Structure 1
Amino acid sequence: MGDDQNLYEVALTRLPGVGSQLTRLLVSYCGSARAVFQAPPGKLLKIPGVGPKLIKSIQENARTALLQAEEWVKRAEELEVQLLFYTSPRFPDRLKQIPDAPTLLYYRGNADLNQHRIVSMVGTRQITSYGQAVTERIVEELKPFKVMVVSGLAYGVDVVAHRAALQAGLPTIGVMASGPDIVYPAVHRKYADRMLTQGGLLTENPFGTKPDAPRFPARNRIIAGMSDCTIVVEAAMKSGTLITADIAHSYDKEVMAVPGNITSPVSEGTNYLIKSLKAVAYTSVQDLVELLNWDLQDEAAAKAKAPPLDLSEFNEEEVKVLQVLLQSREEHMDNLSWKAQVPVSALASVLLGLEFKGIVKAVPGKRFMLL
């Protein structure tokens, strides 16, 4: 059933005149890729945007598309390539949300493309010693947060980011402008091979596709679309890297840029992104943590895992204070006194005792929060 399903999904993407948006529309109305091929003309005509000309094209090209799909499904099995249609639970969810997302991905690897935290790192191919040091530092700083690093396997910042992720034990995904059977540049094959067991290689291009120039901007939209944030390390003013940053911006994704030497051509792009407010400056991992609210996420997760507070261990006044804080998490001292019905004169002592026990914490503005 799985192979049969893949067969029709691949075939649907090979039909002339059927792009990604129309593919989604056809599947939405018919229920599955297979149902599109089996639907009678009358049913297809009811779909908005589908006319007699397209139906005729589908009928005339269906057999050829299915034969080609059969060959590619077999090839995928031989090369251990996963064929991820956009309806697959393994397809990157973040990518589904962008309007021009591909409908079929070719994936080799073992990483979860829906990992909790994913960051893209992009930049110039003419990386400087500063750029290399910063790229390696960023990846090392990401290690405690169990981040998946995405890049394009190209020279410069891309391969340094992949290599640093491999050394740090982080999963890393190389998004390629070629088919799944062609690693470009070939000199990076040793890293690509390692990534198959610690991340993976991803592309929207079918077998045998060569990395022609027009495919790189399309590749860049996947890099930007499948991550939470795109970090630009070094970039010239006129570069594909800035295009990637613009794409990420258009998807309402976060963009960060590393400030650079004002005399360096490969820092002109990053400094421009920061100056024009198209990117947030990256000076340490804390900038990223605060931008994406990872600290608040981790705090909430820790609280969710924490066992419920046993109020039997506290005295009467402490219980009154804790019951208020369990509801609001944080209160001003005056409000806390009124809500808990504990006089301010006694409350200071109660709160001090709870602080010593590691239950509450004083924050600026005479406020107290439950830990």
Structure 2
Amino acid sequence: MNDTELLHVLALLKVEGIGDVVAKKLISHLGSAEEIFKTKPHLLNAIDGIGQVITKNLKNKSIFKWAESELQFITKNQLAVFHYQDESYPHRLKHCIDAPILLFGSGTLDFNHSKIVSIVGTREVTPYGADFCKKLIEDLVPFNPIIVSGFAYGVDIMAHKTAMDCQLQTIGVLAHGLNQIYPKSHKKYISKMEANGGFLTEFWSDSNPEREHFVKRNRIVAGMTEATIVIESAEKGGSLITAKLANDYNRDVFAVPGRVTDTYSFGCNYLIKTQQANALTSAADIVYFLNWDIPSNNNPSKAIQKQLFVALNEEEQKVYKYLTQHGKQVLDQVALECHFPIFKLSPILLNMELKGVVRPLPGKLYEAI
């Protein structure tokens, strides 16, 4: 997108009565933001949902002063701009009707990675939540996922820091413009974040971290990822809003269960109880539910990785080890070598098939995946 079109998009977003949904409708009808401002009023009025008030507001020349000022800020600070029609725009977010028409970013951003999850939770993270968050990310390292969060206190910054320590790309979605950072105490992480990931926001440079901005920001956190993970949450909070948005966008949601008496497990337990989230007990659950393949080049021992990341019990591990060492085997031979009667081995293999670690072949053959 060239600067002329960007200027017109910025101006369009400053028009009173026009938000992301209406702006997308106008661009869809007329082809570009620049063309919208050239179109005669009676043709604009003919578009469904565009009335005389919006048409009149489009003629307000002062909006271009705001747009020019913001374009100067973008250019001066060498910010990345992602238009919703660009290939570089987060492809999962494109499918959300209320997704921002523009996103502003800094750092080395790659939104279209095949594996990307958001991790959210309370700002008052407990030792239990902190330990779980660290262990989860460390165990997901072989899959090289992008970790997205909100750069806030508690679970958010814990997720970012652990991802950086593990040399994973991490993205902080901000509730304000890129002329500042909130909270200020997190400024020390900026350079390291931008070296392997960075920051993303829909807010202009004059936008401060207002309360309503955090709620609005959450739809980006939920929409741009394939799954949202809630580590800890009280009975109410932004994490539950993010989980609801993720469900609305038809994304997977996971929540870490806790004791029923723990304040910061109330929210997670509620999500699980009401079937708004899958119970998350280890990285194996993420791998299983999201159907992530284990990359063979990260570890020479495929069997060890399968045992680590897929919840195989002792009997299943025994069968899996035999199949990885001996290749395709008939059912009777597996039963003989693993010392299981057929009636017991059959349900074991069925469970392993459902977990995606073995597959049946013609002639009662089985092989490890």
Please give the range of the TM-score, normalised by the shorter of the 2 chains.
0.7 to 0.9
Which stretch shows the higher mean deviation, 157-166 or 15-24? 15-24
Q: Is the 8 A contact 2:231 2:268 kept in 1?
A: yes
Distance in 1 between the 2:119 and 2:111 partners? 16
The counterpart of 2:117, out of the listed 116, 119, 123, is 119
1:4 corresponds in structure 2 to 4
Distance in 2 between the 1:278 and 1:71 partners? 43
Q: How far 1:78 sits from its partner (Å)? A: 1.3
Matched position secondary structure for 1:24: helix
Matched, 1:233 2:231: yes
Letter in 2 for 1:92: P
Higher-Rg member (1/2): 1
Matched, 1:56 2:26: no
1:147 corresponds in structure 2 to 145
Query: 1:44-63: CA deviations, max 9, x gaps?
Result: 2331122233212211x2x2
Matched position secondary structure for 2:199: strand
2:129 corresponds in structure 1 to 131
Q: Is the 8 A contact 1:257 1:279 kept in 2?
A: yes
Distance in 2 between the 1:118 and 1:290 partners? 15
Change (3 A) 1:233 1:40: same
Q: How far 1:281 sits from its partner (Å)? A: 1.2
Distance in 2 between the 1:279 and 1:149 partners? 19
- What are the equivalent positions in structure 2 for 1:63-102 lying under 5 Å apart? 63-102=61-100
Aligned residues between the structures: 312
The counterpart of 1:178, out of the listed 164, 176, 179, is 176
Letter in 2 for 1:45: N
Letter in 1 for 2:210: D
Change (3 A) 1:284 1:56: same
TM-score, with structure 1 as normaliser: 0.79
Q: How far 1:151 sits from its partner (Å)? A: 0.3
1:288 corresponds in structure 2 to 286
2:199 corresponds in structure 1 to 201
Matched position secondary structure for 1:214: helix
Q: How far 1:361 sits from its partner (Å)? A: 7.3
Distance in 1 between the 2:181 and 2:121 partners? 19
Q: Is the 8 A contact 1:9 1:85 kept in 2?
A: no
Matched, 1:30 2:37: no
2:344 corresponds in structure 1 to none
Which stretch shows the higher mean deviation, 120-129 or 237-246? 237-246
Distance in 1 between the 2:11 and 2:121 partners? 36
- Uncovered stretches (5+) of structure 1, i.e. residues with no partner: 300-329, 334-359
Q: Is the 8 A contact 1:106 1:204 kept in 2?
A: yes
Which stretch shows the higher mean deviation, 283-292 or 48-57? 48-57
Distance in 2 between the 1:69 and 1:172 partners? 30
- What are the equivalent positions in structure 2 for 1:217-232 lying under 5 Å apart? 217-232=215-230
Q: Give the percent of matched residue pairs that are identical in Structure 1 and Structure 2.
A: 41
1:263 corresponds in structure 2 to 261
Change (3 A) 1:210 1:279: same
Please give the root-mean-square deviation of Cα atoms over the aligned residues, in Å.
2.4
Q: How far 1:123 sits from its partner (Å)? A: 0.4
Change (3 A) 1:173 1:365: farther
Letter in 2 for 1:38: K
Q: How far 1:298 sits from its partner (Å)? A: 6.3
Letter in 1 for 2:44: L
Matched position secondary structure for 1:142: helix
Q: Is the 8 A contact 1:123 1:157 kept in 2?
A: yes
